[in-house]
Chains A and B, each alone.
Chain A
Amino acid sequence: AVQMTQSPSSLSASVGDRVTITCRASEGIRNDLGWYQQKPGRAPKLLIYDTFNLQSGVPSKFSGSGSGTDFSLTISGLQPEDFATYYCLQYYDYPLTFGGGTRLEIK
């Protein structure tokens, strides 16, 4: 199975900051990578698909980049509602595998 290593596992930032979360795949996954945001008690919400495509309704403050094995999610101009846990997911090969998650906290 493709292993997804996500870093950092936690991150403290302030309102207005720009942060970047990374995921590294254990083998090449083309661009078959998505990013989710999960808030406490809620289901994950898809933000980015195919590495850099913004899901409908998601603000452009979220952006994705990368290819092959290294990927990143950048969030610009952090607002209070952005503090949540973020997960990457590869869907290049079965089984689909998630990164371990990044908990984004308010500094």
Chain B
Amino acid sequence: QVQVQESGPGLVKPSQTLTLTCSVSGASISSGSYYWSWIRQPAGKGLEWIGRIYTSGSTNYNPSLKSRVSFSMDASKNQFSLQLTSVTAADTAMYYCARSSCNDGVCSVLPVDWGRGTLVTVSS
């Protein structure tokens, strides 16, 4: 069974770059037809999909963040990462990584297996 776990700095200063890592166990991030997503949730608010990276390394980002966000994969560590530049207080949130799944041979981008999340606070 696949498990994903987020890790990151916890506290980031305004205007700096946030880097989060999602460590994957129970599956290889570079095989299969899976999508690996990042989603965030400010405290007490709803969910926002940040984007996804595919097993091939192709990416798709939410236009609301597109100019500031980038994803990467490290197959040797079985991890994928998020970088968010020029952070502000509005980026303070719980950040989740998640994997999609395939049903009856049909694979979609729908996030299925989520990590527990990592809380990021942007403050000086």
Which A residues fall within an 8 A CB radius of B? 1, 32, 34, 36, 42-46, 49-50, 53, 55, 87, 89, 91, 94-101
Contact = CB atoms under 8 A, between A and B. Distances in A.
B49 A32 contact: no
Contact of A91 (B47, B51, B108): B108
A46 B115 CA distance: 13
A102 B54 CA distance: 30
Contact of B103 (A36, A44, A45, A49): A49
Nearest to B6: A43
Nearest to B66: A95
B111 A46 contact: yes
Given A50-B108, A94-B60, 12 more contacts: A36-B47, A43-B116, A44-B114, A49-B110, A89-B111, A95-B51, A95-B62, A96-B37, A97-B49, A98-B46, A98-B49, A101-B47
B46 A91 contact: no
B71 interface: no
Contacts of B49: 89, 95-98
A56 B104 CA distance: 13
A89 B102 CA distance: 17
A91 B61 CA distance: 13
